Amino acid sequence: MDGTGKKKVGPSRYIDEMLPAVRLLGEALGAEYRYYSILLMDNSSRRWSVSAAGTSVVSDSLYNNRGMTVRVTDDKGYAEYSLNGFCKDDISHVTERLRESLKAFDGDGESFLQDYMKREIPASAPLEMRRSGEYLVHPADIDDGVMIERLSELRKKLIATDERIFDAGARAEYQEIHKLFVAPGRELSQDILWSTGAVSAMAKSGQEIKTAFRSFSVLGGAEILDEMDGALGKVAETAVTLLSSEPMIPGTYECICSPEVTGMIVHEAFGHGVEMDMFVKDRALAKNYIGKRVASDLVTMHDGGIAADQTGSYFFDDEGQEATDTVIIEKGILKRGISDLLSAMTLGTGPTGNGRRQDYGHKAYTRMTNTFFEGGGDDPEDMIRSVGYGFLLESPESGMEDPKNWGIQCMVSVAKEIRDGKLTGRVFSPVVLTGYVPDLLKSFTMMSPRVELSGGGMCGKGYKEWVKVSDGGPYIKATIRLG
């Protein structure tokens, strides 16, 4: 425990017990292949929820997994094999399966091997690492009954906030992540804990029913419950306000976006579009704009496992690459994308530590981590005062993008009218935000200093492999097409 009262996430007993056998496997692979890597995972989770339908305590299979991925490389190419149980007696079985599944690559296999090894072990790569996240209160240390009671109290407080709130829900969840990466001359381990939560409120007036929802996330533990408690009034206010909401009149408006909406924009606008495995497949227009202007001078965009402390954080990725803070856009200029190991090798660039797997049985893709815009120097109140007619956008719902054509479409549940620099009290909902990504980002004219990130949800890719990410930014002012 440090001076802040935080504790370190402890190691996995399973991984510690498996380490001698993993080292023996590494020796066997090293005798046969010029390069190998072993990724061992031990992840656990628990979710508690309270609603009118009742209470629930579950361990989500998506977050609970224990297994191993082995990758080998020789002068033919590379092969991977995954398994969910392993002991030293399985070494011959694993090596035989790898021989059988070794894939042949077109072209110069020896050149492939040399390039692969160079990318896999950069000169600056750490040879040993043992890193741990921190928390104040571990959710696993709270009895299920106590956790349900605390969430029930949040639900009751939310319902009591306003007579028009007739129902509410609350949930909390954590995942504890343990990973060991072993390769020739390298042994890396990390132990991480993140927690998320959400509250929802349903308001009714006559036949009209509206729902407000807010998610929470922290790189830590059950301390998230206090954050949820402090936001109940805002959630109730949003639900009640939506009862008097009006349909949005389609048009292009001056808009102020809350940090949560900014996060959805950064994730959808330039997140997937700069994942460089999409460059390899020629499915991202950004590939042709490296070094070119794609946004306002105010826009600087980051992504990386160490770029922020949120649910997308880690110390090394699932290919053993040390986590980074990658500057994707710098003062409006697209500098580079983010990459896994193989896409970096194919494109002749350095990996950025973004190779991530849903679990040991899924392939590694280039995936976002903590993705956000830097802040600026404008006060949010001054930003509102600068608007002749437009909207303050809050409460994002969902979004999608088209990386090949740079289209974006996002759903927002609250648009507060601004006229002559003042909020009028009128609210419009639901709202669809659309546009061409560079036009949207070039329209940024003001940004607040404080950057906020959240990571309550998951990000899907490929055949819907899911990983935890976070996104965010400051308040921004932009010209946006709404409908």
Closest of 303, 317, 268 to residue 460, by C-alpha: 268
Overall average pLDDT of the 270-285 stretch: 91
Helices within 60-108 (DSSP H only): 91-101
- pLDDT reported for residue 56: 97
Overall average pLDDT of the 334-352 stretch: 91
Q: pLDDT confidence of 479, banded at 50, 70, 90? A: very high
Per-residue buried b or exposed e for 399-415, using 16+ beta carbons within 10 Å of the residue's own CB: bebbbeebbbebebbbb
pTM: 0.95
Residues 6+ apart with CB under 8 A from 123: none
> Each residue of 74-113: pLDDT tens digit?
777 778 999 998 999 999 999 999 998 876 555 455 565 5
The Cβ of residue 91 has, within 10 Å, a number of other Cβ atoms equal to 18
Does residue 231 surpass a pLDDT of 60?
yes
The ranges assigned to domains in the chain are 7-45+56-132, 134-178+192-242, 251-482
Q: pLDDT confidence of 320, banded at 50, 70, 90? A: very high
Q: Give CA torsion, residues 347, 348, 353, 354, to 10 deg.
A: 0
Contact 193, 44 (CB under 8 A): no
Does residue 348 surpass a pLDDT of 90?
no
Q: What is the fold, at CATH topology level, of the domain defined by 134-178+192-242?
A: PmbA/TldD fold (3.30.2290)
- Please give the share of the chain, as a percent, with pLDDT higher than 90: 83
Does residue 25 surpass a pLDDT of 90?
yes
The angle that helices 144-160 and 232-242 make with each other, rounded to 10 degrees, is 50
- pLDDT reported for residue 62: 85
- pLDDT reported for residue 412: 97
The Cβ of residue 281 has, within 10 Å, a number of other Cβ atoms equal to 11
403 versus 177: the higher-pLDDT residue is 177
Bridge partner list, 192: 177
Helices within 256-319 (DSSP H only): 259-270, 277-280
- pLDDT reported for residue 119: 61
Per-residue buried b or exposed e for 460-473, using 16+ beta carbons within 10 Å of the residue's own CB: ebeeebbbbbbbbb
Q: pLDDT confidence of 1, banded at 50, 70, 90? A: low
Please give the C-alpha separations between residue 121 and each of 117, 124, 135, 330, in angstroms, as whole numbers. Answer: 6, 8, 32, 28
Q: pLDDT confidence of 428, banded at 50, 70, 90? A: very high
Bridge partner list, 322: 316
Overall average pLDDT of the 385-410 stretch: 93
- pLDDT reported for residue 345: 85
